Chain A
C-alpha cells in the first residue's frame, strides 16, 4: 500500500500549457491502445468463455432444458419450484454451515501460523513452503481420495484410535453425523494461501509501532490487539471476502469424498454439487441454471454486506 501512495505522489505534477495537455492526451491514447492490445487475450476469454455463457445461462434459467431437446421457455417455473425443493434447502443449509464454520477457522489458523512464522526464524522459506503445500494439494482429487482412505471405517484415524484401546468403528466420512465436519477439516487444512497473504501483510507493519508500544509498557497481547490487528484488518478483510466466495463454490472435495453422491443422507450435499447433479445427472439444465443464478445472488448479497460491514472494522492506514 505504501508503494501505491508513493506512485500517486509522483503523478501529481500538473501540465501547464494547452499544448502540453494535448501532447499528453495523445500519448495517453497511444498508451490506451497498447493497453487494450495487451488485454486482448484476456478480453476474448472474458467475452467468449465468461460473459457469453453467463447470458446463455440466464436465458436457460427461464426454460426447461434437458440438454437432449431444445430449451422450452417456462417463465419463472424453475425459480418457483426452488421454493418447494427440500433437497435444495438442505443443500443451502449444508453450504452455509460449511462456510460459516470453515472460513473463520481457516483464517484463524492461517493468521496464527503467519504470526509464528513472522518471528524471523531460521529456515523460514522451508516452513512457509511446508505450510503452503496443503493449499496446492487440498482441492485436488488425489488428496480427497487420500482423505477418503484416512477417514474410512478401517482408515488410518481409526487404526490409531485402536492403538489407544478405543473401539473405533465410526466412519468419519460415511456417518452423516461426522461427514461434513471431516470435509470442513480438509478445508481448514488448506490454510496456506491466506497464510502467505497474512505473512506479507505482517511484514508491512512498521516495527517502530511495536517498539514504541513496548517502550510504553504494552505487553504482547496488547500489541497484537491494538497494533497488529488494526493494521492487518484490510488484509483480513481481503482474505475473508476471497475465502468466503471460494467456500461457497466448493465442489471437488465433496464430490470425491462422497463419490459424487453428496452422501451419506445428503449430509455433504453442497449447493454446487446439487446443481451439478440436477444439471447433468437428472437432465434439468434449466433448473440448474436457475440454481446457479440464485447462488450468484446469494454470494453477491453476502459480499455486499461484507463490504458494508467493513466500514466498521477495517482500518486503512493512509
Chain B
C-alpha cells in the first residue's frame, strides 16, 4: 500500500511540475513609484554575449543620466525566456520592460498583458515607413520596433566558385531557377556540398503565399487553405528530387543546429535562408564574406516578390507596470537617442529611426553596413507588412516543419500534408 501511495504522488509530480508556475516567483515587479520621477524597473531580454554586454552598458548609461531610476536587468536565453515570461505573467510579476518577439506579441497583446505605449507618449515619428505597424495589436501600439529585419538568401561565393557555377541574378530569379542553380552546385561541387541548406522555413512559406495572393495570417485568422499550400509541399519534393537540398535526415538535423554549425557556415552549402540581422554572425563564424541575395519569386521580378520589414524584436511593457511613464521614457530613449544607439549599433537589427541610423552609419561594421544598404535598396520591393500571428499562431513554423518532414520522408503526399497542416494550424488558433 505504501508503495501505491508513493507512486500516486510520483505520478502527481508531473502535475506538480506543470503547476509550479503558480508558486514560482521571478523577482518583484517595480515598486516604490512616486511623483518625483524615481522608479524601480525590471528589464528582460533574450540574447547572445554581445547583446548582453551592450544592454548592460546601455542600462548603466541610462541610470547615470537618470539617477532616480533603478533598472534591474533580467537577461535570458531565447528558448527558456518564454517559459519564464509566461510564468512571471501568471504570477503577476511580469518585468516592466519586455523584449518581445513577433511570434508572441499577439499572444500577450490580445490578452491585454501589454501596455498601450502611445497612450504614455511612445515616439515613433522618425521611424521609416513599414516599421511601426507590426507592433500594433487591435489598433494599439504594444511593441516598438527595436531593429529592422528582412528575410534574405545568403550565398557563399567561394562555394559557387569551387563548383564553377555563377551566382544567380537575384532580381530576376524564380523558385524554379533557384532549384536548377542549387542542383547544379550539388552536382558539380562534390564532397557532400549541396545547393541549399535551410530554405523551407516559415518566412519563405509566407513569401511564397504572398506571391500567390495569399498570406500566412490575416488579421482574423489563417490566410490560406490547403490548395494554396499544396504547391509549396510539391515544390519541396521537386527540390529534393533534383538534389537541390540535402537528405531528409540532414534537413531535420539542420533545423535543430545552432547558427555556427549550419551547412552554410561550415561550407557544406552554397546558399541558406537567413534573417538579415544574422549576417554578421554568419560571417564571423564562417570566416568568409557572404553575399546578400533577395529571395526568389514566382513571377521572376524582384518588385513582385512581396518583401517586407519585420521587427527583429520589439520593446513592450507590462500592462501592470506601476511606472508606465518611466517605462515609455526608457523605451523612447532606447530607440530614439544617439547615446543608446552608439552603444547597441545594429546588433538588434538596423535601427528603424532614420536619423539614428544616419548618425551611427559610419560606425557600422562592413557586414552591418551591407545589411543597412540592402534594407534601403529593397524599399521599392516592399508589400504590405504582414500582421502578427494571432494567438495560437506563433508555432506555425513547428507545425509546418512536422508536415514537411512527413513529405520528405515519403510518409505523406503533398495533398495530404497540406490538408492536415491547414486543419491543425486552424484548430490551434484561438
Instruction: Indicate whether A and B interact.
Output: yes
Q: Which of B80-88, B211-219, B380-388 faces chain A?
A: B80-88
A249 contacts B13, CB within 8 Å?
yes
A281 contacts B395, CB within 8 Å?
yes
Interchain CB contact (< 8 A) of B411 among A52, A265, A281:
A265
Closest to A59 in B: B19
Closest to B79 in A: A260
CA of A174 to CA of B246, assembled, Å:
13
Q: Which of A97-105, A109-117, A129-137, A289-297 faces chain B?
A: A289-297
| Interface residue A1 (Cβ < 8 Å from any Cβ of B) | no
| Interface residue A245 (Cβ < 8 Å from any Cβ of B) | yes
Given A176-B405, A275-B14, A303 and B253 contact (CB-CB distance below 8 Å) = no
Chain A residues positioned under 8 Å from B405 (CB to CB): 176, 263-265
A169 contacts B82, CB within 8 Å?
no
Nearest-neighbour CB distance to chain B for A148, whole angstroms, equals 8
Closest to B111 in A: A68
Given A49-B16, A67-B86, A282-B395, A245 and B253 contact (CB-CB distance below 8 Å) = no
Closest to A46 in B: B9
Chain A residues positioned under 8 Å from B15 (CB to CB): 53-54, 57-58, 289, 292-293, 295-296
| Interface residue A258 (Cβ < 8 Å from any Cβ of B) | yes
Chain B residues positioned under 8 Å from A288 (CB to CB): 18
Nearest-neighbour CB distance to chain A for B94, whole angstroms, equals 9
Interchain CB contact (< 8 A) of B20 among A53, A58, A293, A303:
A53
Given A68-B111, A264-B252, A299-B7, A56 and B409 contact (CB-CB distance below 8 Å) = no
CA of A66 to CA of B90, assembled, Å:
8
Chain A residues positioned under 8 Å from B428 (CB to CB): 282
| Interface residue A77 (Cβ < 8 Å from any Cβ of B) | no
Contact with B along A51-94 (1 / 0, CB 8 A): 01110111010000011110000000000000000010000000
Interchain CB contact (< 8 A) of B7 among A67, A87, A170, A303:
A303
Nearest-neighbour CB distance to chain B for A234, whole angstroms, equals 11
Interchain CB contact (< 8 A) of A53 among B10, B22, B111, B401:
B22
Which positions in A face B, CB cutoff 8 Å?
Answer: 46, 48-50, 52-54, 56-58, 60, 66-69, 87, 152-153, 169-171, 173-177, 241, 245, 248-249, 258-261, 263-266, 272, 275-276, 279-283, 285, 288-289, 292-293, 295-296, 299-300, 303-304, 307
Q: Other CB < 8 Å A-B pairs besides A263-B402, A289-B18, A296-B12, 20 of them?
A: A48-B23, A49-B20, A53-B15, A66-B111, A67-B87, A68-B86, A68-B89, A68-B90, A171-B253, A175-B248, A176-B411, A241-B3, A264-B405, A265-B406, A276-B18, A280-B86, A292-B18, A296-B11, A303-B4, A307-B4
